[in-house]
A and B are shown apart, each in its own frame.
Chain A
């Protein structure tokens, strides 16, 4: 039973446009959310995170939005660049735990020049 769901396996976007990657979760105990980026033949790397006390966190071209009532978060990339093409994993943890994230299945983003 997936607790973190990324329902879009892939997303194709034109360079310069906005990429929006979505993630839903079911466990109410999750209170810290992370996005990881993964290139082929590499491990995931941490991209951006958000605590449940916030509804938005921004870092350069990357913004994560959290809607706790809907148990939904999204990652916005503006403007998208070809180098952003990668698999993006949404992950969630519960405070008081051991920082072990529960991952979604990932969304493969392709940014076309």
Chain B
């Protein structure tokens, strides 16, 4: 069974540009989560989807971040316009309905110059 996949693995952009990150959860997992880790710091929750609905987006930093999960399958996280402080590793995770164990993807390392 394929795990959680994320694309791209790395992205280097300039301040002010737009970047879209993609996450494909494990097939059949209704729960999908986005997290971010700034270098050396804790992994911070961004938001949680149940199928296509946003269950909790309390961790989204500001309105430059937009997450979608159309059709309840893969999800995208768009940052527009990107700022220097958006640099970090963005992790996606998925879990089954009612499941407590989250399975993480390898992350996308975003560098904003």
Report the bound CA distance from A99 to B56 in whole Å.
12
Number of A positions contacting B (CB below 8 A): 22
Task: Give the distance in Å from the alpha carbon of A2 to the alpha carbon of B44 in the complex.
Answer: 11
Number of A-B contacts (CB under 8 A): 53
Task: Report A's interface with B, CB cutoff 8 A.
Answer: 2, 4, 9, 32, 36, 41-46, 89, 93, 98-106
- Please report the total number of B residues contacting A with Cβ < 8 Å: 25
A105-B40, A106-B42 in contact; A43/B56 too (CB < 8 A)? no
Q: Which residue of B lies closest to A2 (CB)?
A: B42
CB distance from B41 to the nearest CB of A (A): 6
Asked whether, in the complex, the Cβ of A99 is within 8 Å of the Cβ of B95, the reply is yes
The CA-CA distance from A45 to B106 in the complex, in Å, is 10
- Besides A101-B45, A103-B44, A105-B42, 11 new A-B residue pairs in contact (Cβ under 8 A), listed by A number: A2-B42, A41-B9, A41-B107, A43-B106, A44-B43, A44-B91, A46-B103, A93-B100, A98-B56, A99-B95, A103-B42
**A44 neighbours in B (Cβ, 8 Å):** 43, 91, 104
Q: Which residues of B contact A100 (CB under 8 A)?
A: 33, 45, 48, 56
